[in-house]
Amino acid sequence: MPLLEAKNVTHYFGGLCAVSDFNLTLEPGELVGVIGPNGAGKTTIFNLITGVYKASQGSIIFNDKELVGKKSNQIIEMGIARTFQNIRLWQDLSVLDNIRIAYFSQTNYGSLEALLHIGRYKAEERRITDQSMDLLKVFNLDGLADENAKNLPYGSQRRLEIARALATNPHLLLLDEPAAGMNPNEINELMDFIRWIRSEFKLTILLIEHQMRLVMGISERLKVLDFGATIAEGLPAEIQNNPKVLEAYLGVGGEE
Amino acid sequence: MTYFLQQVLNAAQLGSIYALIALGYTMVYGILTMINFAHGDLFMVGAFFCFLAATFLKLPFVPTLLVSMVGVALLGVLIERVAYKPLRTAPRVSAIITALGVGLFLENFTLVFSPYPQSVPTLIKNVTWTFGGLSISSLQIIIIVISILMMIMLDFIVQRTKVGMAMRAISWDKASVPLMGVPVNLIISATFALGTGLGASAGVMYALAFPVIDPYMGILIGWKAFIAAVVGGIGNIRGAMIGAFILAILEIMVAAYISSTYRDFIAFALLLLLLIFRPYGILGKPRAQKV
Amino acid sequence: MKSIKEPSQSGPSKPANETLSRLRIIWEKIASNRKALPITIIVGFVLSILIQQFDLVDQYLQIIIMFVGINIILSVSLNLINGYMGEFSVGHAGFMAVGAYVSATLTMYVIPTWLGPWTFPLVVLAGGAFAGLISLLVAIPSFRTRGDYLAIVTLAFLMIVKSVIENIEVIGGPRGIPGIDKLTTLPWVYFWTVASVLIIRNFVYSKFGRGVLSIREDEIASNLMSVNTKQVKLQAFIISSFFAGVAGALFAHLLQFISPKVFDIIKSTDVLIMVYLGGIGSIAGSILGATIYTVLLEVLRPLGIWRMVLMPLVLVLLMIFRPRGIMGMREFRWFVPYYNLFATKIWRHKKEVEDASSGS
């Protein structure tokens, strides 16, 4: 049974069609890449899956449940997490708090216990803090736990973003341009890193990326978008030589 | 029917005054993304300048209007330079609190010199014409006409002059404009001068219509005009005018046909409803948040 | 010849520096002693009873202290919405009004006078509860609007509350309710002040409080990181307005007279000033802001009308030089739960112990 199934998803912003007839089937454990020129609708698809927008048409089924129409925090609780193109960390909060907040739905105490610091409050706070610090250690960020997120160097912020997404305990991870601003060495590390978290955290990964080396290097298969429509899909080797894809990126006659 | 038309006329007069104030709010917000809560009190200062000019300088109407507008415009520019400019990079709420502080200062400073309400001398002879049951006063006509002239002048400046173009550019993208060689601080001062000058003219109009003025008169009207600007879509000049007239019509009609004690309450409740259904105002566009 | 490296201190400044560093050492000792906090609270409570019973302090001063307490409750509760959540609510006076009127109505028209002092805590609770309930009128629109638009919603709410009260003749309409029994005492104010600070502090350092902070920083990201922002916002509004109602009830039974005019935009502005003066996102800041504002207004009373000219000027100057307020989002150690202060250290120590026992 597929983990995620998007069927005929179409979305309009006013009169503009941002995504048209998008279809995707993800089996558990897959690593699929989504590429296409800027403005092709890739991030919009992430937004549609995670409930930021409600798809104008079509359905998105995750673990047999319909996602379209659900609220974002419900969808996240169901087991989907994402990172953002432009890092959206909570800048004036500490690194530790950035992770602890992502554990919100997994922190099990109610309002009364919170207001009086009674009942399960103490135990859950300790448990969540320990889990957060352990997670930070995996990403080598535990030393910076008390720093404000905005003070971290760019690379560390990117790692923190991914760590935060993983804190929500997802089955499906949506990575939005994780290699933005990285040099070739860092990209190599990132490739190993993504492969590693996939096996370590038992993830299915959907990846948006412009850095071709990364996306061709680790994707098992690709979908190519242009102006909201899917223009090609298949194995990386097939896509690399596909004339339609070359045209989309380089313009007509670009394959010369 | 004549009763209804009478109310329409009243609403037009009130709406004109609201519009002139709302325009000041919206212009400053459009260019600085800041709510100048002292604006209502600058309206009050405009009324008081009018009082001073008419009573002590014995100036006739037009010079009084000019003195008031220029005086408040200068004051507005001074306030911007001294109190708001240092806070352009601070968190927005600090700027808002500063504005509230400036407003409080203006109110109480005026109170020191004018502990009792003042009476503004009559500057325009008021002639009333009656058509059937409908009475139109020359004062109403003058207020409406002058307000419309002001709005036309503002529209002209904003749409057809270089200064106006710079203002619109800054409101769209503050960062890139100085890179184009535009003296941003100068334009901001010009915006304040225009906005507060209009607010002052509203003060003069108000003083003409309701000749008893006091230092706290700007508070409620300021908040109402602010709401009108938001309802029309804050930052949008045409929206401010529309919002102002909608508020005035609601107020007057509720007072005339339902109850005058509930007038503010119902007007605000209706505006609230409008915002719930159109959260960015009538002509407002959401500042595009890319996710 | 004096060498350049010689310290330029000489004469009177040297002993002053010594006293300063000695004071600093004493302060460090007190601030780092966690046990001092519960002791201070208990001592304060006993003091408040003694002062009230035996008039150890001038009556006038007692009233000032009670107003400081009420203002602390107001500013700490508003800080939750305006500081921690980053919203801009100007409706706090409206919630205060609800608490004041509900409690005054109960005391004056429902409860027999002799029963007054005994039922007072329940009356105050009722005022708070009603205010908390009414806050739904503001909380629900807040789900769809943000920032400046919430300012409008809360302003409209304030106007509506005022209008509604003015039109209910049974509770005095525009003339208000005079002659309310003076049931507010120093111990009660102390109790409610401590309660509000404690509960709000607890809320802030819980998962909901962290959720509130994340909403301030980036609400969309919060939703996408499993935070139920609706639930969090609702709780924050209810708690904030509950305590505003409590403050209103205490206020009504201290001033002994309330009217719609008392709870207008100026009152809301007062609370706003206290919050931003002391520092947004800081409980110590709110306490500081409320205390300084109340005391300063009293101290400057001899200046007469110039008092209200000077005060906003000082405020503007403060905003220019310290836009985040006196405490500027920093918190005083005593208000941070012990575990939060040392969470990372505790974890690291645990890791060292684990590594030591398993490694070697």
SS3 A81: strand
Could you tell me the residue range of the domain that residue C162 belongs to?
36-345
Task: Name the residue facing C339 among A77, A84, A125 (closest C-beta).
Answer: A125
Backbone angles phi, psi at B174, to 5 degrees: -70, -30
Residues from chain C contacting residue A116 (CB–CB below 8 Å): 199, 202
Tell me, what's the ipTM?
A: 0.91
Q: Look at residues C276, C230, C331 and name the one whose alpha carbon lies nearest to residue C86.
A: C276
Q: Are A68 and A118 in contact (CB under 8 A)?
A: no
d(CA A182, CA A190): 9
Asked if C149 reaches chain B (Cβ–Cβ under 8 Å), the answer is: yes
Measured at the alpha carbon of residue B224, what is the angle toward residues B278 and B99, in degrees to the nearest 5? 105
Asked if B291 reaches chain C (Cβ–Cβ under 8 Å), the answer is: yes
Alpha carbon of C48: minimum distance to chain B alpha carbons (Å):
34
Per-residue DSSP letter, C64: H
Q: Which chains touch A (3 or more CB pairs under 8 A)?
A: B, C
Asked if B112 reaches chain A (Cβ–Cβ under 8 Å), the answer is: no
d(CA C78, CA C281): 10
Q: Which of C84, C224, C355 is best to mutate for the A interface (most A CBs within 10 A)?
A: C224
Residues from chain B contacting residue C141 (CB–CB below 8 Å): 272, 275-276
A148: left (phi over 0), alpha (psi -120 to 50) or beta: beta
Task: Name the residue facing B93 among C88, C153, C265 (closest C-beta).
Answer: C88
d(CA A209, CA A211): 6
Determine, yes or no, domain membership for B280: no
Q: Look at residues A236, A214, A211 and name the one whose alpha carbon lies nearest to residue A223.
A: A236
Element holding A173 (H helix, E strand) = strand A172-176
Q: Look at residues C206, C334, B84 and name the one whose alpha carbon lies nearest to residue A116.
A: C206
Which segment of A4-8, B221-225, C212-216, C286-290 scores lowest on mean pLDDT? B221-225
Residues from chain A contacting residue C203 (CB–CB below 8 Å): 114-115
Q: Where does chain A have alpha helices with state H?
A: 42-49, 72-78, 95-102, 111-116, 121-138, 154-167, 184-200, 212-218, 236-240, 243-250
Residues from chain A contacting residue C351 (CB–CB below 8 Å): 137
Per-residue DSSP letter, B60: -
Q: How, if at all, do strands B134-137 and B128-131 pair?
A: antiparallel
Residue A83 tokens, joined: 């990172």
Backbone angles phi, psi at A32, to 5 degrees: -115, 140
Asked if B288 reaches chain A (Cβ–Cβ under 8 Å), the answer is: no
- Give per-residue pLDDT as tens, A132-186: 999 999 999 999 999 999 999 988 999 999 999 999 999 999 999 999 888 888 8
Q: How many beta-carbon contacts under 8 Å exist across B and C? A: 117
pTM over 0.80: yes
Determine, yes or no, domain membership for C335: yes
Model confidence at C1, pLDDT cuts 50, 70, 90, reads very low
Q: Which chains touch C (3 or more CB pairs under 8 A)?
A: A, B
Asked if C10 reaches chain A (Cβ–Cβ under 8 Å), the answer is: no
Which pLDDT belongs to residue C8?
47
- Give per-residue pLDDT as tens, C261-282: 899 888 888 898 899 889 888 9
Determine, yes or no, domain membership for B179: yes
Asked if B276 reaches chain C (Cβ–Cβ under 8 Å), the answer is: yes
Please state the domain count of chain C: 1
Residues from chain A contacting residue C201 (CB–CB below 8 Å): none
Listed in sequence order, the residues at least 6 apart from A251 whose beta carbon sits closer than 8 Å to its beta carbon are none
Q: Are C279 and C75 in contact (CB under 8 A)?
A: no
Q: Look at residues C232, C86, C343, C219 and name the one whose alpha carbon lies nearest to residue A105.
A: C232
Which pLDDT belongs to residue C208?
96
Mean per-residue pLDDT of chain A: 91
In chain C, what is the greatest distance between 2 CA atoms, to the nearest angstrom?
A: 86
> With 90 as the cut, is the pLDDT of residue C146 above it?
no
d(CA C82, CA C91): 11
Determine, yes or no, domain membership for B142: yes
Task: Name the residue facing B91 among C265, C313, C323 (closest C-beta).
Answer: C323
Residue with tokens 């330029």: C8
Determine, yes or no, domain membership for C31: no
Q: Which residue of A has its CA nearest to C341?
A: A146
Determine, yes or no, domain membership for B236: no
CA distances from B16 to B195, B223, C5, C59, C321 (A): 15, 16, 71, 53, 39
Determine, yes or no, domain membership for C200: yes
Q: Are A98 and A89 in contact (CB under 8 A)?
A: yes
Q: Are B226 and B35 in contact (CB under 8 A)?
A: yes
Model confidence at C12, pLDDT cuts 50, 70, 90, reads low
The number of residues making up chain C comes to 360
- Give per-residue pLDDT as tens, A30-67: 999 999 988 888 999 999 999 999 999 999 999 999 99
Determine, yes or no, domain membership for B101: yes
Alpha carbon of A52: minimum distance to chain B alpha carbons (Å):
8
Please state the domain count of chain B: 1
Could you tell me the residue range of the domain that residue B202 belongs to?
2-225
Alpha carbon of A175: minimum distance to chain C alpha carbons (Å):
13
Domain CATH for C72: 1.10.3470
List for chain C the helix, strand, coil content (%; round to 5): 80, 0, 20
Task: Name the residue facing A76 among C199, C226, C347 (closest C-beta).
Answer: C226
Which segment of A195-199, B30-34, B106-110, C209-213 scores lowest on mean pLDDT? B30-34
SS3 B156: helix
Alpha carbon of A33: minimum distance to chain C alpha carbons (Å):
21
Residue C40 tokens, joined: 């201070």
Backbone angles phi, psi at C280, to 5 degrees: -75, 150
Residue B40 tokens, joined: 């209502």
Domains of chain A: 4-79+170-250 (3.40.50.300), 90-153 (no CATH)
Q: Look at residues A158, C146, C221 and name the one whose alpha carbon lies nearest to residue B290.
A: C221
Q: Are C71 and C294 in contact (CB under 8 A)?
A: yes
Q: Report the half-sphere exposure of A160 (CA within 13 A, side-chain side).
A: 32
Say if the Cβ atoms of C160 and B87 lie within 8 Å: no
Backbone Cα Rg of chain A:
19
> With 60 as the cut, is the pLDDT of residue C300 above it?
yes
Determine, yes or no, domain membership for C360: no
Task: Name the residue facing C148 among B35, B83, B271 (closest C-beta).
Answer: B35
List for chain A the helix, strand, coil content (%; round to 5): 40, 25, 35
Listed in sequence order, the residues at least 6 apart from C215 whose beta carbon sits closer than 8 Å to its beta carbon are C85, C86, C222, C227, C229, C232, C233
Backbone angles phi, psi at A233, to 5 degrees: -155, 155
d(CA A112, CA C258): 33
Q: Where does B33-84 have alpha helices with state H?
A: 39-56, 61-79
Which B residues in the span 148-187 are in contact with C, Cβ-Cβ below 8 Å?
Answer: none
**pLDDT by position in tens, chain B (length 291):** 778 888 898 999 999 999 999 999 988 888 888 889 899 999 999 999 999 998 888 888 889 999 999 999 999 999 999 999 998 887 777 888 889 889 999 999 999 888 889 888 888 888 888 877 788 888 888 889 988 898 888 888 888 888 888 888 887 777 788 778 888 888 999 999 999 999 999 999 999 888 899 999 998 888 888 888 888 888 788 889 999 999 999 889 888 888 777 777 777 777 777 777 777 778 877 655 556
Residues from chain A contacting residue C350 (CB–CB below 8 Å): 130
Backbone angles phi, psi at B201, to 5 degrees: -60, -35
Q: Would you tell me how many other CB atoms lie within 10 Å of the CB of residue C79? A: 30
**Interface of chain A against chain B, CB under 8 Å?**
43, 47, 52, 84, 86
Q: Look at residues C303, C226, C236, C298 and name the one whose alpha carbon lies nearest to residue C71.
A: C298
Determine, yes or no, domain membership for C8: no
Which pLDDT belongs to residue A131?
95
Alpha carbon of C225: minimum distance to chain A alpha carbons (Å):
5
Q: Look at residues B29, B71, B74 and name the one whose alpha carbon lies nearest to residue B53.
A: B71
Determine, yes or no, domain membership for C5: no
d(CA A89, CA C220): 11
Per-residue buried b or exposed e for C297-309, using 16+ beta carbons within 10 Å of the residue's own CB = bbeeeeeeeebbb
List for chain B the helix, strand, coil content (%; round to 5): 75, 5, 25
Determine, yes or no, domain membership for B137: yes
Per-residue DSSP letter, C176: -
Residues from chain B contacting residue C266 (CB–CB below 8 Å): 219
Task: State how far Cα B218 lies from the chain centre.
Answer: 10
Determine, yes or no, domain membership for B273: no
- Give per-residue pLDDT as tens, A72-92: 999 999 999 999 988 999 999
Q: Which residue of B has its CA nearest to C304?
A: B112
Residues from chain A contacting residue C229 (CB–CB below 8 Å): 73
Element holding A230 (H helix, E strand) = strand A229-234
Residues from chain C contacting residue A91 (CB–CB below 8 Å): 217
Q: Would you tell me how many other CB atoms lie within 10 Å of the CB of residue C276? A: 32
Q: Which residue of B has its CA nearest to C173?
A: B261
d(CA B158, CA C241): 43
Q: Look at residues C195, C211, C245, C194 and name the one whose alpha carbon lies nearest to residue C78.
A: C245
Backbone Cα Rg of chain B:
19
Which segment of A10-14, B194-198, B285-289, C28-32 scores lowest on mean pLDDT? B285-289
Q: How, if at all, do strands A221-226 and A31-35 pair?
A: parallel
Residue with tokens 């400036």: B102
Is A87 exposed, middle or buried (CB count within 10 Å of its CB: 0-12, 13-18, 19+)?
middle
Q: Which residue of C has its CA nearest to A48?
A: C224
Say if the Cβ atoms of A116 and C210 lie within 8 Å: no
Alpha carbon of B60: minimum distance to chain C alpha carbons (Å):
32
Q: Would you tell me how many other CB atoms lie within 10 Å of the CB of residue B212? A: 10
Say if the Cβ atoms of C229 and A103 lie within 8 Å: no
Which C residues in the span 196-215 are in contact with A, Cβ-Cβ below 8 Å?
Answer: 199, 202-203, 206-211, 213-214
d(CA C104, CA C263): 14
Q: Are C254 and C67 in contact (CB under 8 A)?
A: yes
